[in-house]
Amino acid sequence: MEIFRVNGGNRLEGSARVQGAKNSVLPIMAASLLARGTTVIHNCPRLSDVDAAIKILTHLGCGVAREGGSVIINSSSVTRHDIPHELMREMRSSVIFLGAVLARCGEAVMSMPGGCELGPRPVDLHLDAMRVLGAEITQDGGSISCRAARLKGRRVNLDFPSVGATENTMLCAVCCDGATVITNAAREPEIWDLQSYLARLGYQVHGAGTPAITVRGADVSGDTEHSVIPDRIAAATYLAAAACTGGDIELTGVTPGHLAAATDALSGMGCRVSGGHDSVRIDASGLRRAIRPIVTRPYPGFPTDAQPPIMAACLQAEGTTVFVENIFENRYRHTDEMKRLGADIRTEGRVAMVTGVKRLRGAPVVSTDLRGGASLVLAALMAEGVTEISGIRHIDRGYDDLAGALRSLGADISRTVTA
Ligand code: UD1
């Protein structure tokens, strides 16, 4: 078993380049099925979720190769429309392949994602949207079969601005007859990145970043290259790491506008944050104090994925910070582990109250999920002594060498194998 071993107390300093966005590259890899040609995706992070998406594309008949920071996908020939359970289970967000496989093949068979570490993972919004576009759906045990003799563009209203359901609807809609208008669409920057990839392929998609996205169905095939946007959650994690350690770091390769919710929170805490064109600097050398309530909401609200890292930054801030988690039911599992380090956190349902403590002390902790795991690494950076973090496979899903990046900023962290 691999673990992270952190010897806390080092102040982070220096500069680091932020990886490409996990939540952009995964839907774009699914969308590459609709290129019917070669797609080169640049700025592709090295993540186990990307490896899982590569396995799915390969199973479906695509040729896939990695070259440095790029992934090359040839989808000229897609020979299957099913995704076996073992592959679905490797990646929580594999349901993102549903719309693209259905659009490309006229049918799609895959297992239900089921629950995950953050709570139940319903896909009702995805399936309702596919139905509106003309798919017949049957569910048998844990498996979903979608079939469509003809997909037709229509108005699809999402009851909640789900990121994945918006993406799946966009991917299915590009192959429909006529136009689809998605209302109450998610507005996350990764939706805009998916639109921009589809537009490069020649599809007509407009409105990403607003609640109404229009997609015109078309026959498109060709080769294209696309560079994914910077990962705003990884960036928020490194900024929070600097805040935890009273550090002073600069992140390059970021889009500062996408980080506003996190940087506002960190400024409120007393950190000095300044942004360049594609960089952001944080100086957290002053006293850190509790901040106004952090309430997670769909973009442009405070991102649920940044809740655990920002919580880590509050563990030693003066006063009490209230968190309200509105997106996922089970997103405070890291709090019990933080308490092992000496954190003062009370949770009740969707609310967590974090009161800053003077000292945290190293202890063995378990990473329970991707962002919760990263937040434990951050807590360990400021704890006295050694913290060993197990369950780091969760962290590998979304961070491209988290330990290496933190080490380059001065952290004492290593990845080691234990019995
Ligand atoms: C995406 C992100 C994830 C992020 C989340 C919210 C990717 C690969 N993952 O996940 O990192 O935390 O957005 O910003 O982009 N829901 C339903 N029915 C559905 C679909 C969703 O009830 O059919 C609910 C979910 O249970 C959840 C909420 O809607 O409570 C938000 O989920 P959604 O926006 O779909 O998240 P994902 O696309 O899975």
Question: What does DSSP say about strands 179-183 and 155-157: parallel, antiparallel, or unpaired?
Answer: parallel
Domain limits at 393?
Answer: 2-19+230-417
Same domain, 151 and 49: yes
Same domain, 219 and 238: no
| Number of domains making up the chain | 2
pLDDT of residue 358: 96
Q: Is the distance from the beta carbon of residue 305 to the nearest atom of ligand 1 less than 6 Å? A: yes
**Which of the four pLDDT bands, split at 50, 70 and 90, describes residue 330?**
confident
Cα(286) to centroid of ligand 1, in Å? 36
Question: What is the percent of the chain with per-residue pLDDT over 90, rounded to a whole number?
Answer: 90
Which of 269-273, 278-282, 287-291 is predicted with the least confidence, judged by mean pLDDT? 287-291
**Which of the four pLDDT bands, split at 50, 70 and 90, describes residue 418?**
confident
Residue to probe by mutation, ligand 1, list 327, 330, 394, most atoms within 8 Å of CB: 327
pLDDT at residue 115 is higher than 80 = no
pLDDT of residue 90: 85
pLDDT at residue 419 is higher than 80 = no
DSSP state, 92? G
Mean pLDDT of all residues belonging to the chain:
95
The residue annotated as part of the active site, out of 116, 175, 244, 271, is 116
CATH classification of the domain holding 370:
3.65.10.10
Alpha helices by DSSP H, 10-110: 22-31, 48-60, 85-90, 97-105
Q: Per residue in 350-395, pLDDT tens?
A: 999 999 999 999 999 999 999 999 999 999 999 999 999 999 999 9
Q: Per residue in 162-208, pLDDT tens?
A: 999 999 999 999 999 999 999 999 999 999 999 999 999 999 999 99
pLDDT of residue 402: 98
Same domain, 171 and 237: no
Q: Which residue puts its alpha carbon closest to atom 20 of ligand 1?
A: 123
Between the two ends of the chain, the Cα-to-Cα distance in Å is 6
Phi, psi of 219 (to 5 degrees): -100, 115
Highest mean pLDDT among 110-124, 138-152, 311-325: 311-325
DSSP state, 144? E
pLDDT at residue 210 is higher than 90 = yes
Same domain, 236 and 185: no
Same domain, 185 and 126: yes
CA distance 160 to 158: 5
Q: Which strand ranges, in their side-by-side order, compose the sheet holding 320-324?
A: 294-295, 320-324, 351-355, 344-348
Same domain, 198 and 335: no
Mean pLDDT on 83-105: 91
One-letter identity of residue 64? V
Question: At which of 227, 245, 280 does a domain end?
Answer: 227
Question: At which of 195, 211, 227 does a domain end?
Answer: 227
**Which of the four pLDDT bands, split at 50, 70 and 90, describes residue 287?**
confident
Same domain, 190 and 269: no
- 62 included as an active-site residue: no
Same domain, 107 and 197: yes
pLDDT of residue 374: 97
- Please give the number of the atom of ligand 1 that sits closest to the Cα of 124: 23
124-132 vs 97-105: helix crossing angle, rounded to 10: 20
Question: At which of 190, 209, 227 does a domain end?
Answer: 227
One-letter identity of residue 333? R
Alpha helices by DSSP H, 84-231: 85-90, 97-105, 124-132, 163-173, 189-201
**Which of the four pLDDT bands, split at 50, 70 and 90, describes residue 116?**
low
Which residue is it, tokens 């949770």? 347
Mean pLDDT on 219-227: 94
pLDDT of residue 114: 58
Same domain, 189 and 248: no
**Which of the four pLDDT bands, split at 50, 70 and 90, describes residue 141?**
confident
Same domain, 196 and 342: no
Mean pLDDT on 34-48: 97
Same domain, 192 and 247: no
Q: Is the distance from the beta carbon of residue 163 to the nearest atom of ligand 1 less than 6 Å? A: yes
Same domain, 181 and 274: no
